[in-house]
Amino acid sequence: MFQKRTSAIRKSVDHLAELVYITAPHHIKPPTLSGEYVAESDDDVSEEHKPFGWWYAPRYKPTKDGYFIGYKESVAYIQQVLKNQGPFDGILGFSQGAAFAALLTELLENKSHEFSSFDHPPFKFTILVSGFKPTMQEATNTLLTTEHKVKTPSLHYIGDLDTLVLPEKMLSLTEVFENPVIFRHMGGHYLPSTSASQKALISFLSQHV
């Protein structure tokens, strides 16, 4: 679904980058995650349009070890993707995927936590669309802090009319990166395909690929 919604953006950067789309491993049923689209009924949508996520938030399924349900499985899944299809220059994430991408960016940069023994270079850049800090996951609260900012270059898309992930939540995520590039738009929970949005993406990628 995200691949179809970003077709214009994808075409605009064809000369710079090949985008590899990864579907999250967990099929999410309502009630679901902050910042994620929710299908009204599984019976009414195709497999392609069913919502998938990287984890279940604690309010959906309480945890005892401080990790979201499904988070560790998602990390293992991404490790295999990076190993089998990588290396990758960078990562782009949307909504909960942006929160996960931010965590992965720091994990690869610092070679800490789950990625301590995984051989993949740090990303050259990260692009986060409608992203937020997953503060409810206590086990990773030492990551994405203003005390130890992420050095990987970052581009953040923030929709001022987003009601699923509020702009202040997205801005809070930008604060944990050194010198973040911020693109604000008068839209909601999506990656805009306007000329200005495409120019911002092309300019950013041109500096880091």
Domain spans in the chain, listed from the N-terminal domain onward: 2-208
Measure the CA angle with vertex 52, ends 79 and 47; round to 5°: 115
Residue 115 is predicted with a pLDDT of 55
> Does residue 13 carry a pLDDT above 80?
yes
Per-residue pLDDT tens for 67-119? Answer: 888 888 988 899 999 999 989 999 999 999 999 999 999 999 987 665 566 67
Tell me the one-letter amino acid at 142. Answer: T
CATH architecture assignment, domain 2-208:
3-Layer(aba) Sandwich (3.40)
- Name which of 164, 171, 154, 155 is nearest 188 in CA terms: 164
- What the block records as the tokens of 14 is 């064809």
In the three-class reduction of DSSP (H, G, I as helix; E, B as strand; rest coil), residue 79 is classed as: helix
DSSP E strand stretches across the chain: 26-27, 52-53, 90-94, 125-129, 154-159, 181-185
Q: How far is CA 15 from CA 9, 11, 36, 85, 157, in A?
A: 12, 8, 30, 20, 21
Which of 30-34, 59-63, 130-134, 193-197 shows the lowest mean pLDDT across its residues? Answer: 30-34
Query: What proportion of the chain, given as a percentage, has pLDDT over 70?
Result: 81
